[in-house]
Amino acid sequence: MLNSLYSGNRLRVDFSKVPKDIEIPNLLQLQKKSFDHFLNLDNSGGESGIEKVFKAIFPIHDAQNRLSIEYVSSEISKPKYSIRECMERGLTYSVNLKMKLRLLVHERDEKTGKKIGVKEIKEQDIFIRDIPLMTDRISFIINGVERVVVNQLHRSPGVIFKEEESPTVLNKLIYTAQIIPDRGSWLYFEYDVKDVLYVRINKRRKVPITILFRALGYKKQDIIKLFYPIKTIYIKKGKFLTDFDPKEYAGRLDYDIINEKGEVLHQASKRLTVKKAE
């Protein structure tokens, strides 16, 4: 069966015997609908994607909780130039994004520091930035050049642990960990060849892990408790005594185990099992 159809300005002839019962969907239209819904260009009437983003971020409070900024609304203008003008003049086919924000100045109690009311309210329209606009060809015009978006794989948020061979020391494993948040900077934890723990923020210069803990508000004693077990040492008649836990002393020790009477219960460098220690 001979079928003729037009594809643009070209005539295409179909010589297939089996008719096409299912039409091939327009896969690019999915990106167009998603982009239009994000900026509310389709005028669907519902809450757009960019509105949800702003409402998830605002309100913003200062450190002393005296000022707060609330999101009121947003406005997207029409493009100033057409697609042809942007390509000829080397411009970006974009629209302006403006936001209406509300500044609240809170009145606080001087004794308790709690909010007792709103002292002043100000609203202002603020220009945020230009947003590139998607064309009907599912592309963007950036500085007069047509560009497309290429899909990429996105790492799921979570914690990832790895072990790799050291490039400098033979038969030595280096352990690393990654914290991938849903939004924000990535954290990389890694040991060096000397078993010193470091941290990187977004793959930048590594710093000791203690600097991160101090930035989070941990003190020196708190950091020591995180990495080392705490033992209580008693001083009695010029001797240092500690509680005996069989599980902690299992294996080969580099010192003798002596009781209160001064008797050697176990010599150094000899293997000590948990059953024998009990």
The mean pLDDT value for 182-206 works out to: 88
Q: Which residues does residue 44 pair with via DSSP β-bridges, in sequence order?
A: none
Q: pLDDT tens across 210-224, in order?
A: 999 999 889 988 888
pLDDT one-digit tens code per residue, 57-114: 888 888 777 888 999 988 888 899 999 999 999 999 999 999 999 998 888 777 776 7
SS (H, E, C) 186-233: CEEEEECCCCCEEEEECCCCCEEHHHHHHHCCCCHHHHHHHHCCCCCE
Q: Which residue ranges form the domains of the chain, and what is each CATH number?
A: 3-147 (3.90.1100.10), 158-223 (3.90.1110.10), 233-277 (no CATH)
8 Å CB contact between 184 and 202: no
Q: How many Cα neighbours within 13 Å face the side chain of 11? A: 4
Average pLDDT over every residue of 141-146: 92
Other CB atoms within 10 Å distance of the CB of residue 119: 12
pLDDT tens-digit series, residues 158-190: 999 988 887 777 788 888 899 999 888 999 999
| Residue bearing tokens 């609304």 | 73
Q: What are residue 165's DSSP bridge partners?
A: 173
Q: And the tokens for 32?
A: 């167009």
Q: Residue 267: its pLDDT value, please? A: 65
Residue 171 has what pLDDT? 80
